[in-house]
Amino acid sequence: MILPTITRALNDAPSNEIDATIDFLLPIIADAMGAEWAHVAAVRPTIGSVLLTHRWSNAIEVDRNPSILPSWIERLESGAPHRAQDSRWPFPGAAMTVDVPLLMGGSLVGALGVASTAAHPEWDGAAIAVLEIIGDCIAATLGRREESDARSQMERQLEEIIRHSPDPLI
């Protein structure tokens, strides 16, 4: 079972190695799902924008102008997985795609998805549940990095204030 391996890798990843860990895990996730494509996308629902922050593919190029995105984002915002057949997302000729939302504090921040040129009728129920667990772990890991980055920024700002203060501080 790949689930314990993936969750352990994400939980153990130091903040500065999270991106590399996600990149390392995407082909493992794709292989376990029988997919030729896996991605993590950042979603900005307010402007309808999607950025593929991490992707792995077996020599497949992304569709740069997918028309499915508005309904895709709407579905993920509801907290539900998005499953589609014969879609152009994430690439032309995708016979089957599944995306699960990445939520932080109840808000959609991204998606974890897999896609294949072959139909996968088994990509429902248990397979989507496993993908959702992995997505929750990725969201938690990205949230941990966000918190760490914010804490580091506050520490740098405090150091600057102290360093440039004309009065001695204790």
pTM over 0.75, yes/no: yes
Note down pLDDT in tens along the chain; length 170 residues: 688 999 999 999 998 899 999 999 999 999 999 999 999 988 876 776 778 888 898 777 766 555 556 677 888 888 889 888 887 778 878 889 899 999 988 888 899 999 998 888 888 888 999 999 999 999 999 888 877 777 878 888 888 877 877 777 66
Cross-strand bridge partners of residue 39: 55, 113
SS3 at position 81: coil
Helices (H) and strands (E) in the chain, counts: 4, 5
Alpha-helix runs per DSSP H in the chain: 3-12, 18-33, 69-77, 125-163
Task: Please give the pLDDT value at position 74.
Answer: 82
CA angle 133/53/48 to nearest 5° reads: 90
Q: Is the peptide bond before 101 cis (omega within 30 degrees of 0)?
A: no
